[in-house]
Structure 1
Amino acid sequence: MNLPPLVVVPDVLRSGAERAEQALRAAVTSLGDSAERRLSSWPAPRRADFLRVTAASDFVAEQAARSPDAFLELADSGELERSLQTGELRDQLHRLLAECSDEDDLARRLRRFRNRQQLRIIWRDLTRQADLIETCRDLSELADVCIDEAYRWLYPRLCAQFGTPIGKRSGEAQQLVVLGMGKLGAGELNLSSDIDLIFGFPEGGETQGVKRALDNQEFFARLGQRLIKALDSITVDGFVFRVDMRLRPYGSAGALVFSFSALEQYYQDQGRDWERYAMIKARVVGGDRQAGQQLLDHLRPFVYRRYLDFSAIEALRLLKQMIQQEVRRKGMDENIKLGAGGIREVEFIAQVFQLIHGGRDLSLQQRSLFRVLATLEGQGYLPAAVIAELRDGYAFLRYTEHALQAIADRQTQMLPDGALERARVAFIMGFPDWAAFHERLSHWRERIDWHFRQVIADPNEEENLPSQASVGGEWLPLWEDRMEEEAIDRQLLDAGFVDPFAARKRLAELRNGPQARAMQRLGRERLDAFIPRLLSMAAEHQDPDRVLERVLPLVEAVVRRSAYLVLLTENPGALQRLIALCVASPWIAGHIARYPILLDELLNEGRLFNPPNAPELAAELQERLLRIPEDDLEQQMEALRHFKLAHGLRVAASEISGSLPLMKVSDYLTWLAEAILDQVLALAWRHTVARHGAPKRADGSPCDPDFVIVGYGKVGGIELGHGSDLDLVFIHDGDPQAETDGPKPIDGAQFFTRLGQRIIHLLTAHTNSGQLYEVDMRLRPSGAAGLLVSSLGAFARYQETEAWTWEHQALVRARVLVGNRRVGEGFEQVRARVLGRERDLPTLRQEVSEMRAKMRSNLGTPLTAAGTAANAFAATVGYDLKQDAGGIVDIEFMVQYAALAWSHGHPELLRYTDNIRILDGLADAGLLPAEDVALLQEAYKTYRSVAHRQALEKLPGVVPGDQLQAERRAVMRIWRTLGLS
C-alpha cells in the first residue's frame, strides 16, 4: 500500500514550516550571494516540498539551518528527486573517507554523511517520492556502507599497530565478519533504528608483523570496539547508528567477538529459541563476506530444522507473553511495535512458518518479511485474503513508525499524546486529523491481532474453558494412571469404546513403553498434553477403538520427536484429519507412522484434498529443486522423496474422501511419477556429463540428451496405484562408439549405460524418506540378460525380429514418459510399425491364450483353478481380482490381443496406451459390440476400484468368491467370444 500525497499544510503546522523557511534563508544569507542565488533558483515544486517536509520534520528543518551549504549541495545534486543506483552510496562514502586523517576525522565524516543521507531519505519519504520498500532499502544500505567502509578504514590501521591476524590452521590473514541482525539483516531498517550486530572471525591464531603479537581474539575485540565507537558515540555532529551487541552469544556478559568454531559450538549446545528466530534475519553486512556466508551456512541447521518444528510456536508464544507483560508493566499499549496488533505480531506470524517449515521448504529461508508473506501465500500456507490484510496492515504500521521517527530523528514507536505531534503524524500519514488516522490505525491493529491469535494463540485458551482447564482435561487422570481399572473401563465405555480393556492396554503400553520412558522432561510434557486431546477426539468418533488402534502406533513412532506431538496439539483440525484418514485406511496410518514428516500435509485441508494437475506438479517439483545447490545430491534426493510422499498422501486422502474418482487417482499418481522421472533424468544427466562429458550423435554433434525413459505396464497405461513399481525401458540415439568430450572420456555405449545406472540408483536408493520407486527393467530387449540401455536401432531390430508375442503385448501399453522429443518420436514410429503389422490370427490367439494359461497356472488361485472351477463362485473361497478368470488380466489380454490383431487395418487403436481408451477405439471401429465394450470398461473400473480400496486397507487383492459374479461372467463370455481359451 502507498500513502496519499501530502498537499495542504494544516494551519497548526504552517507557522513551524514558515519559521524553518526563514531560518534556512538566514543561514543561506550568511554564506553569501552565490548561496542565495542557488536557493532562489529552486523550482516551485521543491519549495513547496520544503514547506511540507519541515512542517512534518524538525530534524530536516534543523539540519537545513545548521548546515545550509551541505543542504544546498544535496538539493543541487538532484538526489532529492531521484532514487540512488546500486552502489552509489558506497562510492560516495568511499571517496569521502579516502582523505580521512584519523579516527576523529573518521567519526566526523561518517556522521555528516549519515545526516546528509538521513535528510535525503526523510525528504523522499515524506514527499512520497519513495515508497516504504525504497525507504527501508536505502536506510539498510546506508547502514551497510557505513559499517563496512568504517571497518575497511580501521582494519589496516590496526594491523599496522598490532600486526596482521593470521589463522593458526590456515596460515592466512583473518578478517572480521560483521553480521547484521533484525531489520538491518532483513534490509528493512526504519528511519531511526539502532543496528543489531554480531562480530566473528574465522579462526584463532596470533598477529604477525610486530614485536609483540596479539591473540586474534584480542585483536578483533579491539577492532570491534573501535568500529562501535566510530558508529555509536555521540559527538557534536550526532551519531551514525546506535549499535546494539546484545544478540551475541551470552549477551552483554559475553565476549565482544567470537571465532567461528566458538559461535558454532555455542549455537549447537546452548542456542535458545529466541536466538533461532533472530538468526533468520542474519546477513553479512561488513568485513569478509565470503567467510561470513560460510558461517551462515554452518549455522543454518540451528535455525532451520530438517523436521517440522512446531515447538517454535511454543517459544514464540512465551516470548510474546513476556513482551506483553513488559508492555503492560511499562504502560506501552500505544506502542505500535510491541503492543497488541503491532509490527512484532506480523513478524512473529511470518517467523512461525519459517521456523516450522523452513528446514524443508527452502522458499521460506528468506529475510524480507514482504517476501516471506508472498511465499506464504504462493505456497498455500495462508489464504490470499489473510496475506493481503497482513501485508497492508504491516505497511501501514511501518509508515506510521517512520512518521513518528521522521519528526525528530528519534527512536520511538509510541503514539504521541501532544496535540502538535499528533497533528504532524496525521498530516504525514495523509489524514485530515488525528481521529481519522487513529480510527484507521485501530482497524489494522485489530485485524493483525486477530490473525496473530489464529496462528499463535494457545489452543487451550478458549472462551468457554475455565482458566485451569484444557481440551481433553477429563482424560488426564486416566492417561496418568491415577484411576482404578474399573473406573477407567467405565469412563471408556461411557465414551463409546466397545473394548475398554484393549484401549486401556494400548494406552498403558504406550505410557510405560521404552520409548516414552526414555523421553526427556519437555517431550513427556508434550505427550501428556497430547494424549488427553486425542482421547477427547476419539470419543467424538463413531469408532473410538479403531482410532486408538490406528493412531497410537503413529504416536509411538514419533514420541522421541515430540515436535510432531506439538503439531497435532497446536492444530486440532490436523488431528481431526489424521484420525479420519487413519480410521479409513491403515495404509495411510502406516505410511504416516513410517514417514511422520507427512503430518505437515494435514495442516492445509484445501491442499490436502485438492492435489495439483500435471503442469502444476512438474512446476512445483522443479521450483523445489532449483532452491537446492546443484552439488547437494543428498538434499535433492530427500526433496524428491518427500515430494512423492506428500503428493501420494494427498491423492490417497482425496480418494478416501471421495473428491477424486478412481481414474483421476491413477492419472495423478502417473503424473507424479512422470514429474519425478523428468527431474531424475535431469539430475542423472547433469552428473554423468560433469564426470565424462557429453556423448555424441552419429553426425558428431553433442547429444542433448538423445535419451528417453519408456514406461510399460501400469505407468505406461496411466493406471498407477498406491505403491506400484515402475516398468521402465531406456533408449538412446547416440553414437555408441564415439567418445564423450569430458575429463574422463568413455564411449557412448558406456555413457548411456552409466546414465541408466544413475537413474536407477536415484529412484531406488533408500534414504531417511525411503525410496522413490521399485524399478523393473525386465521388459527391455532380451530381459535381464540384455543391455540396460538400448539404442533406438537395436530396440527396433529386436522388436521386429526377436521379440515374443507377449513382448508385443507389453508394447501395446508402452509410451515415452520423459526425455528427448526426437527420440520419443522415433520410438513411437517403431511401436506403430511393430504393432501395426499384419498377423496370423489363429496363431496370435493360440500364443495369447497359452501365455494367459501359464499365468493362471502360476499366479491364480489354486483352489478354484484360477477361477475356472465349479466352486469359484462360492463365498467360502477367495477370488483374485487380477489373476483369476474374468479378472483384470483377462481384460488387459483381450485389449492387447485386439490391438495386435486389428491395428494393421485400424492404426487409431495405437493412439492410446490405456485400456479404457483402447476399448473406446474398438467400439468406434465396430470391432467389438458397444455393449460388450461398456461391460468390459465398467468391470475393469470396478475391479481396479476394489483393488485400490483393498490396498488402502492393507489387504490383498482378493475378495470372497460370491462377489462381482456378474462382472466375472461377462468378461469370461467375451473372452470366449474372441476365440481365446
Structure 2
Amino acid sequence: MTAAPGRRSSTFTRLLRHGFTDASAAERLLDSPDLVPLRDDPVLLEALGGTADPDLALLGLVRLLEAQPNPGARQELLDTLIAAKPLRDRLLGVLGASTALADHLSRHPDDWQALVMYEAYDLHPGVEEFEAGLAEADDPVSLRVAYRRCLLSIAARDVCGTTGVAESAAELADLATATLRAALGLAEAAAPEDAGLCRLAVIAMGKCGGHELNYVSDVDVIFVGEAVEGADETKAVRAATRLASHMMRICSETTVEGSIWPVDANLRPEGRNGPLVRTLSSHLAYYQRWAKTWEFQALLKARPVAGDLELGEEYVAAVQPLVWKAAERENFVPDVQKMRRRVVENIPVAEVDRQLKLGPGGLRDVEFAVQLLQLVHGRTDTSLRSGTTLDALGALAAGGYVGRADAAQLDEAYRFLRTMEHRIQLFRLRRTHLVPEEEAELRRIGRSLGLRTDPVAELIREWKRHATVVRRLHEKLFYRPLLDAVAQLASGEARLSAEAARERMVALGYADPASALRHLEALASGVTRKAAIQRTLLPVLLGWFADSADPDAGLLNFRKVSDALGKTPWYLRLLRDEGAAAQNLARVLSAGRLAPDLLMRAPEAVALLGDGDGGGLEPRSRPHLEQEILAAVRRADGSAQAVTAARGVRRRELFRTAAADIVGSYGTEEQPAEADQGALVDMVGGAVSDLTAATLAGTLRAVVREGWGDSLPTRFAIIGMGRFGGHELGYGSDADVLFVHEPRDGVDEREASQAANKVVSEMRRLLQIPSADPPLLIDADLRPEGKSGPLVRTLTSYEAYYRRWALTWESHALLRAEPVAGDEDLGRRFIELVDPLRYPAGGLGDEAAREIRRLKARMESERLPRGADPKLHAKLGPGGLSDVEWTVQLTQLRHGAQEPGLRTTRTREALAAARTAGLITDEDAEILDEAWVLATRVRNAVMLVRGRAGDTFPSEPRELAAVGRYLGYGPGHVGDMLDAYRRTARRARAVVEELFYGAAER
C-alpha cells in the first residue's frame, strides 16, 4: 500500500535527518509488509540512524526478516527487536557495518539469537567460551558457520562500543585460538593413528600470538613436534606434519560457507623451504646457528595456543633467552631498519598514500618502533616482554624508555588506526589495509567512528593527523630518552640509566657509545635557547646518523659544526625550521671525511643546505664562478692572498657539489634518492671541472697582475686535457693541462717565452702552497715530448711539432683538449690546429690502431698497483674507466672526421653519438655507459669517504660500508655491491674485447 503524499514527505525528511542517503529507497523498504509494525516507530529510526550506514542496516534487516523460515519466527524477531534495546543496537549495528555478516545472517537466519545474551560473561568472552561456541562443529563446513556466529558477537560488541579496539583484537585472537584447537581436533579425529604417534604444539605468532588479531588476517603459526614415548622420531614428525597440514587446510580452504582465514607457517625456520614441523631440538639448533635478526623479532610474539600446550611452553621457554640476546647481534638495528624499509619499498606506488598498515605513519611504524625498544631494553627489564603492542608501549612508558606524553599520543593514534582497519575489513570480511577511495565507503567508516557532522572530511583529517603523529614519534621515540639520560630532561619522569643509554647507542650502531653520550651531553645540557633547540633536533638527527655507515663520525661532526656556529642566530633556526636542511646536514656529516672536512674550514656553508627548493645545492656556472673569483683577486693584496681567496671559493663550491652528490645519492623523505646515477656523475664532473677552470683563471689573473700589471707581453692560454678537458674531473683528480702562448706584436719571442714560463712556474708554486684544502695539482705531462719537453710553447711551436713529430698517443690525448682559461682567441686557434690530428680525414690506419692497443696494454701493466685486485680497480681494471674511454676514443679517431657528433671531449656524449650513428649497438652502448658511470661513482665515493683519492674499493669495513651506502646498498649488502660491480665490469669488458681489441685487429 502506498503512503499518502503528506506522510511520505514527513517520513522522507526524517530519514534524511537520521542519516539515510537514499530516502526514497528506504521509504519503499519501510513500506514492506514485514516492517509495517515498525514503520512509524521513532525508536527504530533512531536505532538505524545510529549505525554506520542506515541504508545498509535497513536493507539487511529486511533481508533477515524475509529469510525467517515462518511467520512465527519473523514475529519473534520483531518482538525482540522492539523490546530489547541491546539486541536492537547490536543487530542493526552489525547490519549497518558489514555486508558479509548480513549475508551470513541471511543464510543462517536463526543466528541473530547469538546477540540476545547480555550477561557479564558475554561482554568479555575468552577461549573457553569460544570453544563452547564451536563445540558442535564436526566438519569444516559447520566449523565455518560456528566461527561466523562467534565473529558476529565480537563484531556486535565492537560496533556498539561495548568493547574497545584492544579488547576486540584480543577476542579475535582468542576466537582464532579456539578455532585452531577445533581444526586440530578434526584433523586428529580423521587420523587417530597419526595423533597416537606424536605430540604436536601449535605456536601462534604475529598478531594472533600478540593477542591483537584483525578481523581478517593470516594466522601465523609455527609447529613443534615430538615423538610420544616409544615412538620413532622420524615417523612421529611425519605424522605431526600430516596433522598440521590437515589442520591448515581445514582453516584455509574455501567451502560453500567461504573460508575462515589462511594459516601461514612461513615464519618457521627456513620459511616455506623448511620442514613444516620440527622437533624442539631442531628448532633450537637452527635459531642458535642460522636465524636472522627478523626471526628473533618475530619470536617476540610467540605463544602456545593449540595441541600439546606443555610442549608449546617448553618451546617458548627455550627460545626466549635467544630473543632477548638478539640486540647483541652485529648489525642488529640496521637489520631491523632494513626490514622496515623493505616493507615500504614493496608497497605499490599507487597504494602508498592509502596504506593504513605498511605505509609511512602506519601501524607497522608503531609496531616496529615498540619491538625495537623491547628487544634493546628487554634484555634486562623483564617488564617489557609483552607480545601485545599497546601493553608493551605502556611498559616502555612506565620504565622511562618512552616519554609518557609521547606514549599517550602513540597509543591514541594506534587505537584509531587499528579501529579504522577493523571497520574497513569488517565490511566485506576481506583482508585489506587500504583506505577506500569511494565516498560512500569513507562515509560509512567515518560514521562508524562517531564522526557525524561531515564524516568523510573528518575521517580524512583525523587519519592524516594520527599518521603524522605516528611518523614523527616513530622517528623520535627511539632517541628521545637518550637525552633524558644525559641531559637530565623531563624531571619528574623515570629516565634511562647511563647503562641503558649506552646499550641503546650500541644498538644504534655507535662504536664508541661513551664518546657519543658525551657529545649528547655537551649539545643538549643546560637551559639556554641553544640547548633547547638542540634537544628538539637531536632525536631525529640521531636517527639519520644511525642510518649511515658511521654514526659516530656524524655525531662528532655535528658537535664540531654546532660549536663553531652555535652562537650564530641563523644556524639553529635554519635546522629547526627547514627539515630538509637538518636532514641534508646529517647525511653530509656522516657520509665520509671529505664534505665534513670542507665544512669545518667554512662552517657558514651550512647555509647552502637550507634552500627549500634545492637551489642552494645547485652547482654554479663557470661564468658565475669566474666572476666571483676574479673579483676576489682584484680585492686581494698580492698574488698569495689572491690565491687564498680563490681557494676559499673553491672550498665552498667543492662542499656544495659534494653535498649535492651525497643528498642525491642518499635522498631525503621529501626527495627520494636520485634514480639517474649518470646525472649525478655529470653534475659532479661538470661542477668540479668548472670550479677548477675558474680557480686557474683566478690564479692566472693574480700572477699576471703582480708580475706585469694588466699587460703580459704574450697572449697566454690554458688547455684542459684528460678528464679536465672532458668535464669529468672527480673530487681527487689532477688537472691535466697544456700551456700555450703567442708573443704580442712587437715583443721579442725570447722575452715572451720567459714571461710565459714565469707565469707557469708561479701558478704551480702558488697552487702547491700547503693547505688543508683538497690539493689542486697541475699536470702538464701530456705536452709534446712529455716530461722532457718545455712546459709552455708558442702556438707556432706546437704547429711545427705536431706537423713533424706527433705520435699516435698524442693524437689520442688531444681528443680531450679544450680551452679552460686565458686568452679565448688563442685557445680557439689551438683547437683549430689540433682538430685534424684528433679527427684525421682518412680515419685511423691499422698500424695506428695496433699502436693504441699496445699503449693501453703497457699502461695497464705498468700502472696497476701491485697486489690490487684488477677486477675491482675502477680505472685500469677490466671493464673500468680506461676500457670504456679508450674504446670510445678509438671510435672518435676512426670516424670523427665524418661524424660531427663524435667531435666532443666528453665520454658519454661521444658514446651517445656513436650509438646514434650506428657505430655501436644500443645494447653495447648501454653496457659501456653503465660501467663508466659506476666506475666514476666508485672513485667519487672513495674520495668522499676517505678524503683522499683512490681507484679501488676500501678494505676497512666502515669505509667500505660507507661507499656502499653512497652507491645505494644498505647495511649488510656490501657483498651485493662488489658482486654488482664485478658483473657490470665483466659485461663491459666483453664489449671492449669486441669493439676495441677486435677493431684494432681489423
Which category of TM-score, normalised to the shorter sequence, fits these structures?
Answer: 0.3 to 0.5
Using the size of structure 2 for normalisation, the TM-score is: 0.42
**What's the TM-score, normalizing by structure 1?**
0.43
- Structure 1 or 2: more helix by fraction: 2
